Structure 1
Amino acid sequence: MKFSKLFLVALSISFFVSCSNDDDSNEPIGAYTHGVLILNEGGSGQGSVSYIGNDLSSFTQDVYGTVNGSDVFGKYAQSIFFDGDNAYIIAGGSNTINVVNRYTFKLIAKIDSGLKNPRYGVVKEGKAYVTNGNTYSYANPASGDTDDYIAVINLATNTVDSKIELNATANRIVLENGKLYITEPYSNDKLLVVNPSTNTLETSVNIGSSADTMEAKDGVLYVLRSPYGGRSEIVKVKLSDKTISKVTFPEALDGASNLDIYENRIFYTVETAVYAMNIIANEASVTSIVNYSSTSAYGKMYGFAVNDNRIFIADGGDFTANSKAYIYSITGTLQKELTVGVGPNGFYFNN
């Protein structure tokens, strides 16, 4: 009896240690773990996703095609959002969201009803909230003033359960402190606030026209806006009471875009240059960290991110042929140049 008890105890300890070691393992779950997904919008054809490992050595130009063969990805790949092991890739031109395992990129499902010009998405408690441009036209992006909506997707069934009508235009979306914050693009000047618990538009905040990229940090939403013919600025919205303060850029930084926050610095771009300012600064820096040569049809970078002490730049190119992505150190030294797909527009970190 004593031997049996001792044997069972030893066996239990061995099993616990083995399981603990397995749980602590940092081994990749799939071929595309520990790296960066680069979303390529595509031109008249299909979008694609490229992958570069964190060590900057392993690279796959077309991950989705490599894994899923001839499956049609969809036109005008807009953005990616994550939930657990899944990645949701929005193809706005095809009104489709491709659901894949984010580490193997194997196709799981397609969400292809209830969407009309889907743009960006976030996840809360098993539901995805995806902005839809509705009558938005890629040929005339300013069209479709007040019919945009949020599609509420049940991620257990990958179906659209309901819609939140916005009576406004809608573009970027951020989830913070249980509320959804949506920017209106172009000449519209509101930040929309939606309560996902009631699926209602609660209020709106006047922040000025042409708001685009935004990020929340420590109870403040930082929104970059760049009105045509006016000064660019960062609008800071204190989320607890919706009070506003602004950092207005000098004329030399007109047309600023692509805000990202990393380690208490706000990074932003103007044409082909990258700048940074302290998050509490009252003035924008006019000294560039990076300046590269672009072949973009827009004359500026099309995608941008800062992460892991690196600056990531996507050059849109001419939208007919594969284009370039560049990876710099946080101080501006070029570390890697990649030939990715057509029209690269965003970076997503898959760790």
Structure 2
Amino acid sequence: MNRLKQLFGKFGMVFLLLFFISACMDDNPPIPLGEFEKGVLIMNEGAFGANDGEVFHYDPSSGEIKANIFESKNGRPFAGLLQDMVAAEGRLYLVANTGKVEIVDPRDFASMGAVSSGLDISRSIVAANEKLYISDWGPYDANFNSPDSYIAVVESLNGGEISQKIPVSSRPEGMFMVGNQLLVACTAGQKLDVISLNTDEKTKSLEVAGRPTGFFEAEGRLYLFARDGENVFFHEINKSSVEVIGTVTVNLPLSTSNFALMGNGEMLIITSTGWPDYNDAIARVSLSNGQVLNASVFTGSGLYGIGFHKDRGEIYVTDNNGFQGNGTVIILNKEGQQQKTFVAGRGPSGFKFN
């Protein structure tokens, strides 16, 4: 009998221990994803003058589309031309090239703040050291040039007033943070500018071939994307020295700055004849050797934004429909065969895949 009691006692202790562990685990259950933290966010630029930029949400599993999610959540229109959409520090930054930044909670799109004054033609944003750095063309001069471009500094991740404007080369676009340095692609200046995040001062300005627009990483390497009328340039950047250590040149006339990484060392780039014909195509190129693998994976008129959904192996491309009414999202397989289309907002121009 005593042995039986001892046996039950041991099992009882084990049971209590397992119950205690289970209870502790239940105290910290996984936090469910918010409504807009999964699926695809579609950035709709909006039409000049109407300033009707907005964000749509698309669920690839169900096919459900939710329109104008900023206005739906906050009870007011976005009221700007949406230029960029950047996730950082638990926030989603919506940059309008009409001179403002809206900051939302990526879970439900509730407003968390804004930068609503002091900007001119804002292009993109980076969060670093509890600050915001916003690239801005600055005001046009009499000839519509941009001699007074800058990076605006805001001292809070939730926006507010601009504390400083750091002068940079003409027409800064995309940025990339490496250690304590901020790299800035300056399109009109054809420069790669470098800003110290310790002093908030420009420390270096490198001339590059083509008009640089943005940075991307592939297989652990950092590249600066640039182009001219005939070629696309992939400038490889040494992350330590911030110097150009090599350039892959792709002979791709009529290229635009709209591109997407596919993986496996390949990239998709939209080409366009421009006004008035707008004979557009998606080219697939090799990042390693600059070879054009397929100059016309898909063709159309008004192709505007592009993205690649790695998990689903699908190409997403947009048709702006001449900004006459709403645009269209076209989903293709890797080979460029059309799988699905649906209506988006005015001037759909980019995607964020969650």
Q: TM bucket by the smaller chain?
A: 0.7 to 0.9
Matched to 2:61, the amino acid is D
- 2:238 alignment counterpart: 238
- CA change 1:144–1:258 in 2 (3 A) is same
**Equivalence map 1:1-351=2 (5 Å):** 9=17, 12-19=20-27, 22-23=29-30, 27-30=32-35, 32-43=36-47, 44-45=49-50, 46-55=52-61, 57-69=63-75, 71-93=76-98, 95-136=99-140, 143-145=145-147, 147-160=148-161, 162-169=163-170, 170-186=172-188, 188-217=189-218, 220-228=221-229, 230-241=230-241, 242-250=243-251, 253-267=253-267, 268-271=269-272, 272-281=280-289, 283-288=290-295, 290-294=297-301, 296=302, 301-308=303-310, 309-349=313-353, 351=354
Deviations 1:123-148 (A, max 9, x none): 223222110111048x98x5212x11
RMSD: 2.8
Structure 2, unmatched stretches of 5+, are 1-8, 273-279
The CA distance in 1 between the partners of 2:244 and 2:114, in whole Å, is 40
**Which shows bigger deviation, 327-336 or 122-131?**
327-336
The Cα shift of 1:154 comes to 3.0
Q: Name the SS for the 2:72 alignment partner.
A: helix
The CA distance in 1 between the partners of 2:195 and 2:220, in whole Å, is 17
- CA change 1:47–1:275 in 2 (3 A) is same
Say which structure, 1 or 2, has more relative contact order (CA 8 Å, 6+ apart).
1
The CA distance in 2 between the partners of 1:63 and 1:292, in whole Å, is 30
Q: Name the SS for the 1:346 alignment partner.
A: strand
Deviations 1:140-199 (A, max 9, x none): 8x5212x1111222335522453242242212212234422111123x221111121221
Matched to 1:125, the amino acid is N
Q: Name the SS for the 2:300 alignment partner.
A: coil
Matched to 2:238, the amino acid is K
The CA distance in 2 between the partners of 1:165 and 1:218, in whole Å, is 32
The CA distance in 1 between the partners of 2:80 and 2:257, in whole Å, is 24
Indicate if the aligned counterparts of 1:219 and 1:238 stay in contact, CA closer than 8 A: no
Q: Name the SS for the 2:194 alignment partner.
A: strand
The CA distance in 2 between the partners of 1:223 and 1:192, in whole Å, is 12
The CA distance in 2 between the partners of 1:216 and 1:207, in whole Å, is 18
- CA change 1:202–1:164 in 2 (3 A) is farther
Deviations 1:32-56 (A, max 9, x none): 2211111111112221111112426
- CA change 1:289–1:334 in 2 (3 A) is same
Q: Name the SS for the 2:20 alignment partner.
A: helix
The Cα shift of 1:19 comes to 3.7
The Cα shift of 1:247 comes to 2.5
Q: Name the SS for the 1:280 alignment partner.
A: coil
Structure 1, unmatched stretches of 5+, are none
Indicate if the aligned counterparts of 1:317 and 1:323 stay in contact, CA closer than 8 A: yes
- CA change 1:62–1:135 in 2 (3 A) is same
The CA distance in 2 between the partners of 1:329 and 1:177, in whole Å, is 37
The Cα shift of 1:8 comes to 7.2
Matched to 2:240, the amino acid is S
Question: Given the two structures, how large is their TM-score scaled by the length of structure 2?
Answer: 0.83
- CA change 1:238–1:85 in 2 (3 A) is closer
Deviations 1:54-89 (A, max 9, x none): 4261211221222223x1312211111112432111
- CA change 1:105–1:132 in 2 (3 A) is same
Matched to 1:51, the amino acid is H
- CA change 1:316–1:287 in 2 (3 A) is same
Indicate if the aligned counterparts of 2:46 and 2:81 stay in contact, CA closer than 8 A: yes
- 2:5 alignment counterpart: none
Matched to 2:297, the amino acid is V
Q: Name the SS for the 1:64 alignment partner.
A: helix
The Cα shift of 1:121 comes to 0.7
**Which shows bigger deviation, 36-45 or 53-62?**
53-62
Percent identical residues: 22
Indicate if the aligned counterparts of 2:175 and 2:214 stay in contact, CA closer than 8 A: no
Structure 1 runs (4+) greater than 4 angstroms displaced: 2-11
Indicate if the aligned counterparts of 2:132 and 2:159 stay in contact, CA closer than 8 A: no
